[in-house]
Structure 1
Amino acid sequence: MPKSVLNWFIEHATELSHQQSSPCDCVAALAPCMAELIHNAPGFLEPEHYRSDPTHYARNLIHRSANDDLSLYALVWMPGQWTPVHDHGSWGVVGIVEGVLEERSYICMNSERNRDEGIELARGGVILLPSGAVTSFVPDPDHIHITGVPTERPRTVSLHLYGRLMHNFHIYDVASGTRQLTEVEHNASH
């Protein structure tokens, strides 16, 4: 039964995340679980997890822990939809359910990372994450990137597990060298 598989994943992810003392150990423990879910449980998402928005990628909240130390979202990316350049302030594990998600990384060239002005970012590499791929990130140094789907590719659905409620994150203005903490709704797109 697909729903029980998703519940198993959430319970197992909660247990594993509480057993780990560092973000690196946490994503190392959780990435194989994400891969198992995506590879072995087709149809585990409910119809409401596929909600899309014609103007922005959609963030569909699947699970929020009682103390906000874990959240799980299904993100739906229509062709041409991208995030702004951003970070997470958390560890995360991402699995691709459908399509190909493109990630373009940025590297902070400053030695002092925790500031909102005078940020020097350089473009890094590009990663193409096809259906079944799993990737992860940790908060220190934070993972600064832009993700999305080029107009010539079909819809992509990705599953995002974070070590906190992902209700805010920094958005970077690369040209001006600034960043701003931005609040987002739980089931909203941005």
Structure 2
Amino acid sequence: MSHAGHREPLAQLCRTLDAMFEACAHFAEPSHSTFFARSMRAALAEAAAGPELLQSAQREGSRDHYRRHLLAADPQGRYAIAALVWLPQQASPVHAHHTWCGYAVVEGALTETVFEWNGPASCASATRTQARKRGSVSFVRAGRGGIHRLGNDSDAPAVSLHIYGVAGAQIGTHVNDVVSAAPALV
């Protein structure tokens, strides 16, 4: 799935991402640039604000777990764009990322719990939980400095837009670094 044939909002997002990569071409790793992180957040916010970004089939969930719809894949393998659909009470595992990742809440609300990695104990400990309402955006670089868990604690479906620094074919295998979490203190 390349850029060709996308509806305009998604095609515009791809053009914006391509321009970001061009502007950061002199960096060994573009995601380490403050410009890249800032630009990614702005691109996600703009794309998520458009109601015509997703078709109805791309808003369909799964009763078993959150569902990922691949929307676009960069022909050069620099990024993949996906819509994640979260039915009520669905959540991701606690995870870091093997690659950079940015997301925006398109519909509904999500809850994000942020964790800190404890190397000696080989587990992550929750540090805070925050509501992520429609329009909220986030960007993290690869590694265990950005461990989190996203979930839909509401009674209505939620949709988020994610951009990962992997080729489209690798979206299911090269994104999440699932980690163990310390038991919550009671």
TM bin (shorter chain):
0.7 to 0.9
Contact 2:116 2:145 in 1 (8 A): no
Task: List gaps (5 residues or longer) in structure 2.
Answer: 1-5
Percent of aligned pairs with the same residue? 22
Please tell me the residue identity of whatever aligns with 1:133.
Answer: S
Name 2:40's counterpart in structure 1. 30
Query: In the superposition, relative to structure 1, how do residues 102 and 24 fare at CA in structure 2: closer, same or farther (>3 Å)?
Result: farther
Contact 1:61 1:72 in 2 (8 A): yes
Q: 1: distance between equivalents of 2:116 and 2:100?
A: 17
- SS of residue paired to 1:87: strand
Please tell me the residue identity of whatever aligns with 2:160.
Answer: S
Q: 2: distance between equivalents of 1:80 and 1:131?
A: 17
Task: List gaps (5 residues or longer) in structure 1.
Answer: 112-117, 177-190
Residue correspondence of structure 1 range 18-167 to structure 2 within 5 A: 18-20=22-24, 21=27, 22-25=30-33, 26-39=36-49, 41-110=50-119, 119-150=122-153, 152-165=154-167, 166-167=171-172
Q: 2: distance between equivalents of 1:108 and 1:87?
A: 9
- SS of residue paired to 2:88: coil
Q: 4+ runs of 1 displaced by more than 4 Å? A: none
Name 1:115's counterpart in structure 2. none
Aligned residues between the structures: 167
- SS of residue paired to 1:72: strand
CA offset at residue 36 of structure 1?
1.6
Q: 1: distance between equivalents of 2:155 and 2:129?
A: 16
CA offset at residue 175 of structure 1?
5.2
Equivalent residue in structure 1 for 2:21, among 17, 20, 37: 17
Contact 2:117 2:145 in 1 (8 A): no
Q: Please give the per-residue CA displacement for 1:55-114, whole angstroms capped at 9, x wherever unaligned.
A: 100000001122322000000000010111111111121111101111111101227xxx
Q: 1: distance between equivalents of 2:47 and 2:105?
A: 11
Please tell me the residue identity of whatever aligns with 1:137.
Answer: V
Contact 1:27 1:92 in 2 (8 A): no
CA offset at residue 140 of structure 1?
4.1
Contact 1:23 1:138 in 2 (8 A): yes
Q: 2: distance between equivalents of 1:14 and 1:127?
A: 31
TM-score by length of 1: 0.79
Q: 2: distance between equivalents of 1:48 and 1:142?
A: 34
- SS of residue paired to 1:174: coil
Q: Please give the per-residue CA displacement for 1:18-47, whole angstroms capped at 9, x wherever unaligned.
A: 4223314322112112112222x2222112
